[in-house]
Structure 1
Amino acid sequence: MPDRLAAPKFAILREIFQLAQEQRDALAEDRLDRFRDLMDRRDELMEQLHALARESQDLPANIVALPSAIEAGAEDTLALDAVLRGIMEQDAANEALLQAQMDEVSGQLPQVRQGRRAAAGYRVSQSGATYIDRVS
């Protein structure tokens, strides 16, 4: 049976898919601030999707859907499933890219620590306050 909210759900899911692609671009460009902003927008869309799911109601037991309505419902479900599958694939790719970036940063941490230790050897040690006699 057709879901009267299938079109709004589909629109939200398409936007989430678009955001997932934009997140991939942000990760590829090392723009983590943009990635985080896109995550915030996705959270908002997920809230809207949950609200639609709560609003969606099955037909009462005493109402029977027409066969053409059942076919349309199957098409809606298929379209929604395709978009969901695309979102999941894009998210998996984004997660792999983010993990690779985190591994790269983790690999560079020992070098940063070694650089800090080396730089510490060149610091000028400051002694306590001294008094200079300008008269003599």
Structure 2
Amino acid sequence: MKVDAATAFARAVVDEWARAGVVVAAVAPGSRSAPLALALAGDGRIPIEVFLDERSAAAFALGAAKASARAAVVLTTSGTAAALLHPAVVEARHARVPLLAVTADRPPELRDTGAGQAIDQL
């Protein structure tokens, strides 16, 4: 069976995370981040915790990374979901905690057009 580019990329990213020793992935699912979430679930080497709220996912991942001294991933969908990671990202940076904040994005041409979840995430 032929694998599409998004699936192949997601599987490669998850493989690298597993090889690097990521301790857990906190996932706040959304349609844009689905390829990575599905790759995590299909791989099985990184435990997954699912959250309805991005702030909770980020706080959990931060705590897991602090407790283990190993990198943790927080995965969200696009737009304002990414903004909700900010407090945990700031704390991780200043405490030198290895936290990987991974967000999906919408095509840049949708920014400033009224399209949902389309913001400049950089």
Which of structures 1 and 2 has the bigger CA Rg? Answer: 1
Larger RCO: 1 or 2 (CA < 8 Å, sep 6+): 1
**Structure that is richer in strand per residue:** 2
Q: TM-score, normalised by structure 1?
A: 0.26
